């Protein structure tokens, strides 16, 4: 199974990077920049083709969608090349820097793989397992629905896409890409989902951070290399999105942000000898891709981008300074006005008016934010706090970098207001993130990455000077620097992975990444929700029922049965809702299915559902039930839970332990 997982990882890398790289080279971006922003171009093309295919009535296998994407990107590459040759231009590259880039890529990806292997793969245990989170039922069902229906439009998304149900808009770029990857590994949705999480955290995000660091610090290799230590270091992001929710769309969206900002910085700085048009096109496509994955990612990128652009315009030298400062003020005012307009826009009201209740006091919120603990995670990261604060102090000495600290402080203020207050100000500032403090906390962690790299470099320099003073004989060599790097990295590693914990009030406090490991291990366990025995039973049900509709009790773990194994279950999320528009029939099935033999009304509801079987993974009389209590009320499911082998109208087909499969009717 791990070999299949490795193959899925390879496929995910190829799907995300090959088509997009062609577009980047067509735009004359250098090789590394083309690689860094390739996922954005690939996502843009895949999502656009999915929408177009659905609009014209084309259904296809996922690999056909990928093939169309490659052809489209090849066409863009060819057209751009023809235009360039007609104008007498050549592709842009920087061969002298390729050696450094290769080493930096190996370092940033290698560190991220090391972290992900410890906190994710090792904790997950089985690559075909999945997170027993409520949102995961939707994610897995949407991916499975894309594959079963042969449609991939983000404008027509629903858990029941395979049944022909008309859906609506959902930021499903993640799901489209995952569906393509899944099609190459035998439609193993859970395994492909894990592969996509791994690739996002170990390739997409680290390469994006490297692109950003190279744009910010082109002459400081220590800071650039230091950045490789922090792309996967913070609990709030990326790992908070893996253990909470899961917020996979947000994970994917945020992971593409650093590369997009790096492209903007290169464009405004005029790097690489490219015209501004090429950088504008790359940034615009990146912004769209980020928004397609999750719209609040576009607001996150917008905050970072506007603060950089304001700083850049304000700091312009010589005769352009007055015009630059005027432009900076105008840009900031326009951005604020756009924020208010979007906040008041009718299409976004369901988002910006959604409110999470505050859970912490303001002092608690500040402490949790500074320790990158972010509410109930209980995983503190004090060494990262030290490095970030050192990075903030470093930026105070360089006006060109102060915007990094401003962005971090703005995000931290958003988080504190989000988690500790209620009211209009909270809605205005954090409504675009659903007032979800996990998302604003993740933004804070994302904005802290460059500051941590700056703090790391400064601490290493201070340590190197100290070693030189203690050991004057080697003061002029590289040994002090090497010793300082080893000591700081060792301290960082110890603080992140130390197997210690202590009680603080009612909380069990652990080093941040060890807390993530514990949460992944618990959420991916085959001993809860849908257990390994229940999954084996579901496989048997699939072999018997085929694509026939199976009425189920979602709280017994079968809410994941469609996404994981493909069983055509009637209820696909822990709750009372079935297919849209059939609420009355769903209610009859839930509360009166046991009356099938004596009620024409119930028989009509079952016929409308097209159901032939009833599956129960935790018989009510069982002693060791593994149920999900979310949104569960016993009276809502009396019609299903009261069915026994003696109930008229139902015949027992399969029975193992407390698991049952009944055929409906004679």
For the cut 90, the answer to whether the pLDDT of residue 629 exceeds it is no
245 pLDDT above the threshold of 90: no
Question: Does residue 163 contact residue 537 with C-beta atoms inside 8 Å?
Answer: no
pTM of the shown model: 0.94
pLDDT tens-digit series, residues 42-51: 999 999 999 9
φ/ψ of 527, rounded to 5, equals -100, 5
| Average of per-residue pLDDT values in the chain | 90
E strands, 400-522, in order: 502-504, 507-511
* Pick from 286, 371, 215, 287: nearest CA to 40: 286
**Which tens digit of pLDDT belongs to each residue from 437-459?**
999 999 999 999 999 999 999 99
pLDDT digits (tens, 9 = 90+) for 581-602: 777 788 899 999 999 999 999 9
Phi-psi sector, 557: left (phi>0), alpha (psi -120 to 50), beta: left
Given a cut of 70, whether residue 247 has pLDDT beyond it is yes
CB 348 within 8 A of CB 342: yes
Kindly give, in sequence order, each residue whose CB lies less than 8 Å from that of residue 638, ignoring residues fewer than 6 positions away: 590, 591, 594
What is the average per-residue pLDDT within 358-386? Answer: 84
Instruction: Return the pLDDT at 95.
Output: 43
Lowest mean pLDDT among 91-100, 144-153, 321-330: 91-100
Over residues 210-232, the mean pLDDT reads 92
Identify the pLDDT of residue 512: 83
Per residue in 250-274, pLDDT tens? 999 999 999 999 999 988 876 655 6
The domains of the chain, with CATH numbers, are 2-87+99-433 (no CATH), 448-518 (no CATH), 532-664 (3.40.50)
The pLDDT of residue 96 is 44
Asked whether residue 93 carries a pLDDT value surpassing 50, the answer given is: no
pLDDT given at position 504: 66
- Three-state DSSP at 561 gives helix
Question: How many percent of the chain have pLDDT more than 90?
Answer: 70
Give yes or no for a contact between 569 and 546, defined as CB atoms under 8 angstroms apart: no
Name the burial class of residue 263, with classes exposed (0-12), middle (13-18) and buried (19+) by CB atoms within 10 angstroms of its CB.
Answer: buried
32-40 average pLDDT score: 95
Tell me if the bond preceding 238 is cis, omega within 30° of 0. yes
Residue 505, pLDDT > 70, answer no
Q: What is the mean pLDDT of residues 640-651?
A: 92
**What is the pLDDT averaged over residues 487-508?**
82
Task: Give percent of the chain above pLDDT 70.
Answer: 93
pLDDT attached to residue 287: 96
Q: Which helix (H) or strand (E) holds 655?
A: strand 650-656
Strand ranges (E), 522-634: 549-552, 611-616
pLDDT in tens, 307-362: 999 999 888 654 457 788 888 999 999 999 999 999 999 999 989 998 889 988 99
Of 51-65, 391-405, 454-468, 578-592, minimum mean pLDDT range: 578-592
| H helical segments located in 167-294 | 173-182, 189-199, 205-216, 221-227, 240-243, 248-255, 257-269, 276-293
- Of 560, 552, 533, 555, whose CA–CA distance to 657 is shortest? 533
Cα–Cα distances in angstroms (integers) from residue 204 to residues 14, 231, 264, 270, in the given order: 12, 10, 17, 24
Q: What is the DSSP letter of 659?
A: E
User: Checking DSSP bridges between strand 611-616 and strand 549-552, what pairing results, if any?
Assistant: parallel
């Amino acid at each position: 199974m791990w070999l299949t997982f490795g193959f899925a990882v390879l496929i995910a890398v190829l799907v995300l990077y090959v088509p997009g790289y062609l577009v980047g080279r067509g735009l004359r971006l250098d090789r590394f920049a083309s690689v860094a922003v390739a996922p954005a171009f690939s996502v843009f093309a895949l999502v656009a083709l999915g929408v177009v295919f659905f609009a014209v009535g084309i259904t296809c296998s996922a690999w056909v969608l990928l093939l169309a994407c490659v052809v489209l990107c090849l066409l863009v590459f060819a057209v751009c090349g023809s235009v360039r040759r007609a104008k007498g231009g050549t592709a842009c590259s920087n061969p002298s820097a390729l050696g450094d880039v290769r080493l930096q890529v190996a370092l940033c990806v290698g560190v991220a793989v090391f972290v992900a292997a410890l906190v994710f793969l090792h904790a997950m245990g089985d690559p075909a397992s999945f997170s027993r989170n409520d949102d995961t039922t939707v994610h897995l069902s949407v991916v499975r629905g894309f594959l079963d229906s042969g449609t991939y439009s983000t404008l027509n998304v629903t858990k029941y896409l395979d049944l022909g149900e008309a859906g609506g808009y959902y930021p499903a770029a993640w799901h489209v890409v995952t569906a393509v990857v899944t099609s190459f590994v035998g439609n193993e949705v859970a395994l492909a989902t894990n592969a996509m999480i791994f690739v996002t955290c170990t390739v997409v995000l680290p390469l994006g951070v490297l692109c950003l660091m190279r744009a910010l610090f082109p002459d400081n290799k220590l800071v650039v290399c230091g950045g490789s230590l922090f792309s996967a270091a913070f609990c709030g992001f990326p790992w908070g999105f893996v253990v909470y929710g899961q917020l996979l769309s947000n994970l994917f969206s945020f992971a593409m942000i650093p590369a997009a900002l790096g492209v903007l910085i290169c464009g405004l700085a005029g790097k690489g000898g490219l015209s501004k048009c090429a950088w504008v096109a790359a940034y615009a496509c990146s912004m769209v891709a980020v928004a397609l994955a999750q719209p609040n990612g576009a607001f996150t990128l917008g905050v970072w981008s506007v603060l950089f652009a304001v700083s850049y315009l304000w700091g312009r030298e010589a005769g352009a300074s007055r015009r630059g400062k005027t432009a900076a003020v105008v840009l900031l005012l326009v951005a604020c006005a756009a924020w208010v307009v979007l906040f008041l826009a009718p299409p976004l009201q369901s988002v910006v008016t959604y409110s999470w209740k505050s859970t912490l006091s303001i002092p608690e919120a500040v402490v949790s934010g500074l320790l990158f603990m972010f509410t109930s995670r209980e995983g503190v990261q004090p060494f990262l706090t030290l490095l970030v604060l050192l990075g903030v102090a470093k930026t105070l000495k360089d006006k060109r970098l102060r915007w990094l600290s401003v962005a971090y402080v703005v995000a931290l203020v958003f988080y504190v207001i989000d988690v500790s207050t209620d009211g209009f100000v909270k809605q205005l500032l954090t409504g675009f993130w659903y007032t979800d403090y996990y998302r604003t906390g993740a933004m804070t962690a994302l904005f802290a990455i460059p500051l941590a790299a700056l703090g790391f470099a400064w601490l290493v320099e201070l340590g190197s000077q100290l070693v030189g003073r203690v050991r004057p004989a080697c003061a002029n060599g590289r040994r002090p620097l090497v010793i300082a790097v080893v000591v700081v990295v060792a301290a960082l590693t110890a603080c992140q992975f130390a197997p210690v914990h202590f009680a603080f009030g009612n909380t069990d406090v652990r080093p941040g990444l060890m807390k993530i490991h514990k949460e992944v291990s618990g959420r991916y366990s085959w001993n809860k929700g849908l257990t390994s025995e229940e999954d084996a039973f579901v496989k048997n049900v699939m072999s018997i029922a085929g694509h026939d509709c199976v009425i189920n009790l979602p709280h017994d773990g079968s809410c994941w049965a469609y996404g994981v194994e493909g069983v055509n279950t009637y209820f696909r999320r822990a709750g009372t809702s079935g297919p849209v528009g059939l609420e009355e029939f769903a209610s009859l099935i839930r509360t009166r299915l046991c009356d099938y033999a004596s009620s024409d009304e119930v028989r009509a509801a079952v016929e409308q559902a097209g159901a032939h079987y009833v599956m129960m993974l935790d018989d009510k009389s069982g002693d060791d039930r593994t149920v999900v209590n979310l949104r569960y009320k016993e009276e809502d499911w009396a019609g299903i839970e009261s069915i026994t082998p003696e109930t008229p109208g139902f015949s027992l087909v399969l029975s193992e332990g407390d698991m049952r499969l009944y055929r409906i009717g004679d």
